[in-house]
Chains A and B, each alone.
Chain A
Amino acid sequence: MSAVDRRSVLGGSASLVAASLLWSDIARGAAAVPPAASLRLLTRVCDLVIPRTSAPGAVDAKVPGFVALALKHGLEGTLGPKALGAPVGNDYLGWLGSALGKDFMAQPPRVQTARLTQIDAAAYAPNAAPSPWRTLKALILIGYFTSEAGATKALRYVPLPGRFDPDLQLKPGTKSISNDWTAVDFG
């Protein structure tokens, strides 16, 4: 199996597992649960944004379920009547599906990565119009870095610092502290 194929299979199986877990994570109210196809797409996108590395990935951390819950409850202004860059009807997952193309899930990881990278680059280009992608990506980041896996394994989590050191040497590669609340608020 080539490296590309292996990633494809891994990515696909991660998506399947996560999709089955989602249903238990999303809050009550079946009508508000996104269609299964949207959840599979969201799961694949979460995996592309934050893949498993030496630290767990977004799918390991059940981020797709959090994003679905967050969309249902309007985090990051996603239910706001006038949110900047909001898609029609605040249908973020519908917008994502359209933006990535109907055949996205059938594409190999290389193509999927290229398509999402293109959307991402456009959303972050200088003077770009507000894009729903930035909102979705923000929810993915929140979901990941506030999960136990993301907060404690990808970052450092220090619930009881016990002291304040005002000046320490910062060595390259030092991970930030996930519960540095000032940084969370103003970062």
Chain B
Amino acid sequence: MSATFDVIVVGSGITGGWAAKELTEAGLKVLMIERGRKIEHSVDYETELKNPWDMPFRGFGDAELYAREYAVQMRNRHFNEFSQSHFVNDAQNPYSVEDGTDFSWFRSYQLGGRSLTWGRQSYRWSDYDFGANKADGYGTDWPIRYADLAPWYDKVESFIGVSGAKEGIATLPDGQFQPPMALNVVEAFAREKIRAKWPDRVITIGRTANLTEAKDGRAPCQNRNICMRGCSFGAYFSTQSSTLPAAQKTGNLTLLTDSLVEQVDYDPASKRVTGVRVLNTKTGARNTHTAKVVFLNAGSFNSVHLLLRSRSEAFPHGLANSSGVLGTHIMDHASTLSVAALIPGFEAHTTFGNRPTGVFMPRFRNLDKKDGDFTRGYSFQGGALQSGWTAAKRMAGIGADFKRKATEIGPWRMVLVGFAESLPRASNRLTLDPVKTDAHGAPLLRIAFAHGENEHKALADAKAEATKMMEAIGGHVMFGFDEPGQGGSAIHEMGGARMGHDPATSVLDKYSRAHDVPNLFVTDGAQMASSATQNPSLTYMALTARACDHAVGLLKSGAV
């Protein structure tokens, strides 16, 4: 029987959109399947233009409802009454954790997935990152290096639009940037002071997938900083604003929404996957769709979940899992507020506009020499800000004078949040819950995760160094922490189907293709073999574009 499609792409988020774009533009017939509802660009951003007073709970949301139905998602700083429809209902979408695991799994099940709600920070990885596993022995060696990915980073940045400043830093390669957003007056001061004392510590403006120049029918960022409601200007990269229209323009894309992929079908005779089984979550109907190639882009944990569920006689422990490492070595950056400090001397200064990015300081520890009592390192993200009306919650007083003070712009503060590299460990893993099932009868995904001693040491160092830096710029340190937030809180969960040289110790080859199944690709965060200290989404996109190029070659040559 001939396949209906050339390629099936499971998931429509950051990497699913990229796969759809690249594959359709190569002339392939693609079916993209999304489990959630359709959200049409601009038309369906229902809260985008709402004012706080238009909302029943003024944007803060119904706390009683959240405790009952959004108990995990409500821990996300960006989850609120304006954005809640872009996050899952936890009560309807359960997962389980092993005893002792405290893990927040933040999810967005809808067309566009988390591309609608992501933090947009876009950083290249360097060979300090791709070479890390080989250098210190944690995890398995990446089968690629920076040079393999550099042209794909170029391609992705040029298409999605990343604003940023070129800095010439070895640990944070420069890219194809739109003009940077500006450091504010205090951040600019901190950059100069800190660099004068520590030449290897650079505060740069966050490299963000928010446009500073119009591009491909998308308008530049309006500095509202309400991205997660959806942006009718198309000013930040999302599937809707960027990759989906490109894919649709080819005429080669078929899109299914409200369609949950329950299993990837494997044919032991041909040793190929043949397609997927889909449940229409609105009608309850089940269908099978066939294709020559399948791309999994369901999000790191959900792609692993789907592979684990796709058991067969040939793969009794999960599809493409002859190695037995499927589900293992999951990671999430260990992050915490390393320091918050008052910065005096700028009382006569302020800013205008809601810049949708902060600052970034790339890793400086344990690079060409070991200078910490831990391996690898951490980066900082943060920024300088002035308080507004919510500061009055901490202010004594009542009456007209209190009211006047509550309207004033508050003092400058600077915060640095440490992001420590999460080492790949076999004990941090995903499995199928042996007992609990979802509403459709499928086993729940079960998460076992804990940050290790190395992450704790790194964050202790981050707190100490962040404190020194704030003191060096004349700041009065208020507080800081060295305990990581719970697993998942960085929203950089990744790994579980790692890429590697050896089919005995990894799931995917250097082109994100399953060692065991030549027409199956996994190009979301599941493929990651290490976590680095930068936000990973740009790397997922570059790896996806590279994998698509390889898949197109295989299809056109008849190899799959």
Contacts and interface: CB of A to CB of B under 8 A. Distances in A.
Interface of A: 27, 48-51, 53, 55, 57, 66, 69-70, 72-79, 113, 116-117, 120-121, 123-124, 134, 137-138, 141-143, 145-148, 151, 154-155, 157-170, 173-187
A147 B394 CA distance: 20
Contacts of B57: 69-70, 73, 75
A159 B51 CA distance: 8
Contacts of B388: 155, 176-178, 180, 183-184, 187
B127 interface: no
Contact of A161 (B67, B185, B224, B392): B224
Nearest to B404: A53
B389 A79 contact: no
Q: Which 6 A/B pairs are nearest by Cβ-Cβ distance?
A: A183-B388, A124-B396, A164-B353, A187-B387, A187-B390, A167-B185
A184 B348 contact: no
Contact of A146 (B58, B353, B394, B404): B58
B389 A184 contact: yes
A177 B225 CA distance: 13
A138 B393 contact: yes
A160 B53 contact: no
Interface in B382-414: 383, 385-400, 402-404, 406-410, 413
B2 interface: no
A146 B394 CA distance: 17
A164 B60 contact: no
B338 to A, nearest CB: 15
Most buried by A among B53, B64, B181, B415: B53
Interface of B: 49, 51-53, 56-60, 62-65, 67, 77, 181-185, 188, 222-226, 347-355, 383, 385-400, 402-404, 406-410, 413, 415
A173 B51 CA distance: 25
B193 to A, nearest CB: 16
Contact of A163 (B52, B53, B352, B398): B352
Given A163-B223, A170-B350, A186 B385 contact: yes
A181 B82 CA distance: 12
Nearest to A50: B403
Given A73-B65, A160-B222, A170-B348, A183 B353 contact: no
Given A142-B58, A187-B389, A165 B409 contact: no
A57 to B, nearest CB: 8
Contact of B182 (A78, A164, A183, A187): A164
A166 B183 contact: yes
Contact of A51 (B348, B355, B403): B403
Most buried by B among A53, A137, A157, A158: A137
B403 A164 contact: no
A131 B182 CA distance: 41
A167 B189 CA distance: 11
Contacts of B399: 48-49, 51, 113
30 contacts: A49-B403, A50-B406, A53-B400, A69-B56, A73-B57, A73-B63, A113-B398, A117-B398, A143-B58, A154-B403, A159-B51, A160-B222, A162-B353, A164-B181, A164-B223, A164-B351, A164-B352, A164-B353, A166-B182, A166-B188, A167-B351, A168-B352, A170-B349, A175-B408, A176-B389, A182-B383, A184-B388, A186-B387, A186-B413, A187-B387
Contacts of B410: 176, 183, 187
A79 B395 CA distance: 23
A152 to B, nearest CB: 9
Contacts of A27: 56
B393 A134 contact: yes
A142 B202 CA distance: 38
A186 B57 CA distance: 19
A179 B386 CA distance: 13
B65 A174 contact: no
A185 B77 contact: yes
A121 B396 contact: yes
Nearest to A186: B385
Contacts of B408: 173-176
Contact of A179 (B52, B181, B348, B400): B52
B415 A186 contact: yes
A77 B64 CA distance: 9
A179 B392 contact: no
Nearest to A48: B398
Contacts of A185: 77, 390
Given A49-B399, A120-B396, A186-B415, A167 B184 contact: yes
A181 B357 CA distance: 12
A151 B51 contact: yes
Contacts of A120: 396-398
